[in-house]
Structure 1
Amino acid sequence: MATSLEHFVTSVRNLSAEGGWRELYEFLGKSPDILMRNAEHLDHVLEILDPQLHSLGVLAVYMVKFMITNQNAVQTDVDVEGLVGKVSKFILVCNGEQIRAAPDSFAELCSQFTQYLVDKKMPARGILPLAQAIRKARMNENQLTSIHSHFLQLCLMAQNLRPALEFINLDISDINSEHGYFDAKHFLLYYYYCGTTSAALKNFELALYGFEVALTTPSSAVSHIMLESYKKYILVSLIIHGKVIPLPKYTSQLVNRLLRPMSAVYHEIASAFSTNKPASLEATLMKHKDALQRDNNWGLAKQVQQSLYKKVIQRLTQTFLTLSLSDMAMRVQLQSVADAEKLVLSMIDRGEIYASISQKDGMVLFHENPDKYDSTSTVERLQSEVDLCIELDTKIQRMEESICTNPLFVKKATGILDEEDASRNASLQTSSGPTKIPSFAM
């Protein structure tokens, strides 16, 4: 190996042995040029360094190998396959304490790793490594990293949603800035993928929450992620509530003003739904089938149709005490009596209506809600909700305390920061003439 590369290996070993992660991180930031010039020896370097003892050094080498691969116009499947396998193993065995000292580099490695798996259409291979990467990169389970969005993307592409359950039903209260690598795109993608994953798992309440967070994120422009979230928000809202729930008042006016005209098809579907006429809704869905399929929302749209059938049946329970299945099929505009019976039975099983079907004469008998809310299970459910509220209040108090004791917040609240900015800007203007120095809001 060249002398400069030997110096690299020696420095990585010595600094790792001393536990000088900060010094090693700064050293590695100056090393890409050396590694690029010695690209033919990088595999030998990986053989010398231990992925557990020298995780930061190995991380730097893999980052450069990805850079080299991206620069090469011709890539062989063997090279990519080998690189993916080695990076997968590294992510699984690397030292968490070390990689947390270089969160930006580790996040970029996971991003490159994900992109290769997406391009090669083998997302399933990245699910286990990225799940482990999240556990190692985050400081606590409620902290969000950029790796979360890559992980959920692979789960959706592989149609393997069970591993995602660990990471979608979280109360995110902290964000790992990853030394500036984390940006708004990762935040929006995480909640968009959370909503999409939850919708696929029929957890529509959580799906609606995910899309709502993506839409209510403060912004000065509307992104494509927000547009896709808005389309799915309309459909999921119809499935759960039978109407489009207005976005919270704190939503950016820009979002409300721009997204509606960009989602005309979905508002037309909502209008058809509000007529309570399944035939009208079906005609609207068929009219826009191509657009819905392009947006990958055709499955959700069909569930909106099923939701309208259920809504009509629930309205019938408020009008009739008994109703024949044939009459119900006609009123709900179902194709057959068998379809009506199947739908009613599924609604009874899910507790969406209280009824029974007489097999003798095919009559549906509607009942009152049998739950008097005086059972032990009701008390336990109420107590669990109270406990959740208490826990939420405690978290909010801790977050408020953390914000109030933040030096930057204190300076800003007392006006000291504004005075310092004004003084600094004045001095800069004096020294550089009439040129204005732009001020940046914090």
Structure 2
Amino acid sequence: MVTTVPSMALISDLLSASTHLHNPIINDEYDRRIRELVEYLKRPLTTKNLDTCANDETFLDQFDPATDSIVYLFVLGVQIQKAQELGGEACPADIRPSGKLWARAAQFLANFDSIQVRYIGREWRNLIEIVAQASLAAHQPLLGAKLVRDAMLRLDPSSTVFTSTHLLLVKLCLQARAYSYALPILNKHICHFPTLPSQSSSESSILCADGSSVSFITDTSGFSSKLSYRDYLRYFLYGGMVYMTLKKWRSALHFLGVVISMPTASSVSLIMVEAYKKWVLVGLLEKGKLCSPPSITTPHVVKIYQSLARPYVILAHAFERGDLKRLKGEVDAARDIWCMDNNLGLVTQVVDAFFSQTVIKLGKTFAALTVADLAKQVFPSPVDEEIAESAVSSLIMSGALNATLVQMQDHAGLSMLRFSIALSFPRLSHELDVQTHLRQERQLMESLVCNLEETNYNLGMSDECVDSLQRGQAWSASGGANPTTAEEAGLEMDEDLMGDMS
């Protein structure tokens, strides 16, 4: 398609405006120029003056998504909108994978300037959501998941501020069955929610300045759609499901624990009940017992969980007692429930894990056992000793069981299982693992301390804190007691929040 004269004039104007951002300048000036460019682009977008570039396939070739990110994204948005209008659908062929606009979107998301994009959060999120919808419409959610994940990490490598894009990514990974793709985001610790502008520091208005994502991912920046507590619960439930599929039981327990311990005034949501059911099964797989909910979970909520998830609790009790026959009976009796809850796969893994967990428990009681005696205690019906020995060998080789198999010289063909107190792997390997773990914990603590300091500062700048300080000064001047107590300044607000969530 031949470029028209108005299009050439527009390209010249946009290139000139974007070029002002290429040279290194101080933050204040850079901030001013970006804001002027955004305002300049919004005006013609509103009056449809950029229609000349909507059908020009070569228009975007004049701009580099890495250095002209703002212009590139605005023009790409216009072209996507035009394609949607012409096609009469949200995801026409040009926007789907292998389409020309999909290629443009992928190029942008892989190369955009993260500083410039801080000023156009709503446009960035719109593109992210369109890419996700297009990949689902084409039945290729894996392509969308990769683009969304990489774009999130490019915008905010820490990913500590929870946004609607977090939930979108996990949904894409679950639908694509590309569970490991979500780990770079799931492994980050959520420390903040998008805050109101009044809760941000005064310096945060200069978005290009160095700082955490709290300064530019705010309640009004557009990087996230409006969030509810259900979005937060779903993110941790789906994240727990991702960890389950990867058999990372400890991480799955942590994510599910966040859901079931959510404060509530009187009732619990279906999401929380679903998480508790999975919590029971994952606890059996990770620890071989019915795990108590996190200590912050109130007793009446625990009773509600146990009542609504009674078949799961009964199954856990059968598992804990080491009664395989009863365990299988409970599995068969409630098979319709497992299927209806989409937990049959987890229940099957619980049955498979019964042998290993029972053998591990025997190791806490006995120093050694013959394989024949072990088989009698574990299996309800007679089992060939070779089968039992093979199962024990698999546990030892996988590292699940810390023991050794010894052939008895006095009794031909008789094997003895000796449980070890010492670690089965070399000391050096153990020390390296400990060092790695300590480094990870140190990095986590540093991140949490940094985010805690920032949270404290933002809370100190909030309207609620300023109002309470003003009330305290008024009381002090009149000789009264300081009213900023936990009962007045904190608990009433928490009750309001919990009332919204029930």
Assess same fold via TM > 0.5.
yes
Partner of 1:291: 337
Is the helix fraction higher in 1 or 2? 1
After superposition, the CA RMSD in angstroms is 4.3
Distance in 2 (CA, whole Å) between partners of 1:24 and 1:410 is 32
Cross-structure match for 1:430: none
CA contact under 8 A between 2:161 and 2:192: conserved in structure 1? yes
- Tell me, yes or no, if structure 1 residue 340 matches structure 2 residue 392: no
Q: What's the CA shift string for 1:176-212, capped at 9, x where partnerless?
A: 5634225345544443333222222222111111222
1:412 has 2:465 as partner: yes
Aligned to 1:69: 84
Q: Following TM superposition, by how much is the alpha carbon of 1:236 offset from its aligned partner in structure 2, in angstroms?
A: 0.8
CA distance change for structure 1 residues 264 and 327 in 2, over 3 Å: closer, same or farther? closer
Aligned CA distance change for structure 1 residues 388 and 139 (closer, same or farther; 3 Å) = closer
Q: Is the 8 A contact 2:371 2:415 kept in 1?
A: yes
Does 1:328 find its partner at 2:375?
yes
Q: Find the counterpart in structure 1 of residue 54 from structure 2.
A: 42
Distance 1:387 1:17 in 2: 43
CA contact (8 A) 2:396 2:404 kept: yes
Match of 1:365 in 2: 417
- The alpha-carbon distance between structure 1 residues 12 and 240, as it changes in their structure 2 partners (threshold 3 A), is same
CA distance in 2, matches of 1:296, 1:246: 23
Residue identity over aligned pairs, in percent, reads 19
In structure 2, relative to structure 1, the CA distance for the partners of 1:25 and 1:301 (3 Å cut) is farther
Matched, 1:103 2:121: yes
What are structure 1's unaligned runs of at least 5 residues? 421-438
Secondary structure, counterpart of 1:405 in structure 2: helix
Alignment-derived partner of residue 201 in structure 2: none
Q: Say if 1:94 and 1:325 are closer, same or farther in 2 by CA, change over 3 A.
A: same
Counterpart CA distance in 1 for 2:145 and 2:377 is: 48
1:46–1:58: 8 Å Cα contact kept in structure 2? Answer: no
Partner of 1:427: none
Q: Are the aligned partners of 2:355 and 2:378 in contact in 1 as well (CA < 8 Å)?
A: no
Deviations 1:152-184 (A, max 9, x none): 333333333343343333344455563422534
Partner letter of residue 340 of structure 1? A
The one-letter amino acid of 1:196's match is M
Superposed, which structure 2 residues align to 1:311-322 within 5 Å? 311-317=357-363, 318-319=365-366, 321-322=368-369
Of structures 1 and 2, the one with the larger relative CO (CA 8 A, separation 6+) is 2
1:356 pairs with one of 405, 412, 425: 405
TM-score (norm 1): 0.77
Shift of 1:311: 2.5
Q: Is the 2:128–2:148 Cα contact (8 Å) retained in structure 1?
A: yes
Partner of residue 136, structure 1: 154
Partner of 1:207: 252
CA contact (8 A) 1:329 1:339 kept: no
- Describe how 1:158-177 pairs up with structure 2 within 5 A: 158-174=176-192, 176=213
Deviation at residue 266 of structure 1 after TM alignment: 2.5
Other-structure match for 1:309: 355
| Cα contact 1:403–1:409 (8 A) shared by 2 | no
Instruction: Report the 3-state secondary structure (helix = DSSP H, G, I; strand = E; otherwise coil) of the residue aligned with 2:461.
Output: helix
Alignment of 1:78-97 (within 5 A): 80-81=96-97, 82=99, 83-97=101-115
| Cα distance change, pair 272–397 in 1 and its aligned pair in 2 (3 A) | same
Provide the rounded CA distance (Å) in 2 between the counterparts of 1:124 and 1:292: 28
Cα deviation code 1:379-412 (max 9, x no counterpart): 5555555555555554454444334433425971
Distance change >3 Å, CA 325–CA 155, structure 1 → 2? farther
Equivalents in 2 of 1:38, 1:251: separation in Å? 55
Query: Please, what TM-score do these two structures have when normalized by structure 2?
Result: 0.69
Q: Number of aligned pairs?
A: 423
Question: How far did 1:45 drift?
Answer: 7.2
Q: Does residue 117 of the first structure (1) align with residue 164 of the second (2)?
A: no
2:18 aligned partner: 16
- The DSSP-based 3-state class of the residue aligned with 2:405 is strand
CA shift digits 1:102-122 (9 cap, x unpaired): 223312321232133224321
In structure 2, what is the equivalent of residue 232 of structure 1? 278
